[in-house]
Amino acid sequence: MCSIAGASLALSAIGTGMSAMGQVNQANAQSQAAAYQAQVARNNQIIADQNAKVALDAGRVQEQNQRLKTAALIGSQRAAIAGSGLDANTGSAVDLQSDAAMLGEQDARTIYQNAKLKAYGYETQASSQGAQAGLLDTQAANAQSAGTLGVMTSLISGASTVSDKWSKWISTGSGSGTTIQADNPLVAFS
């Protein structure tokens, strides 16, 4: 028959095992959550890198379109000047066309510079997401390490408790087969 001390000893051992299992499950859950978040950050990094490329490509197209608009404007100016009977290659007509070309080129460069700034914002975002992914990978690894330490702590603490209860059980003679009677004579514990 089992004594109360023996039952306490058994329950302590079972509790130690369950505590260790809980530590493992918690570590796995934390590690998996961090790994998932790291993958999301890597996906966001890829998207931000793609957005940077799209912004630069769109900026180049808009820059080229602005140059075409400027060329069309200069062509219209030349046609209007020639249509009014003036020489489009001399005097103020040349100055007018030169100013239009200069302002059009400035607009084209501004458009591309703005696209580069937008792309830089996406590149910065991508870099930040990459760093976040690395941090979360470390967090996932640390969760596993913490889980291992938690399991070892639970086992060592539990072993100490079980050992203490075992020692008390043996020293009281409960482990030698003696029977301890409860107040109710129909129920006996050993």
Does the predicted TM-score (pTM) go above 0.85?
no
Q: Which tens digit of pLDDT belongs to each residue from 16-26?
A: 778 778 888 88
pLDDT beneath 70, residues of the chain: 1-9, 169, 173-190
Q: How far apart are CA 41 and CA 44, in angstroms?
A: 5
CB atoms within 10 A of CB 55: 20
Tens of pLDDT, residue by residue over 81-101, are: 999 999 999 999 999 999 999
Separation CA 60–CA 108 (nearest Å): 9
Long-range CB pairs of 162-167 (<8 Å, 24+ gap) are 162/9, 162/12, 162/13, 162/16, 165/5, 165/8, 165/9, 165/12, 166/9
**Coil, strand or helix at 56:** helix
For the chain, the structural domain boundaries read 4-189
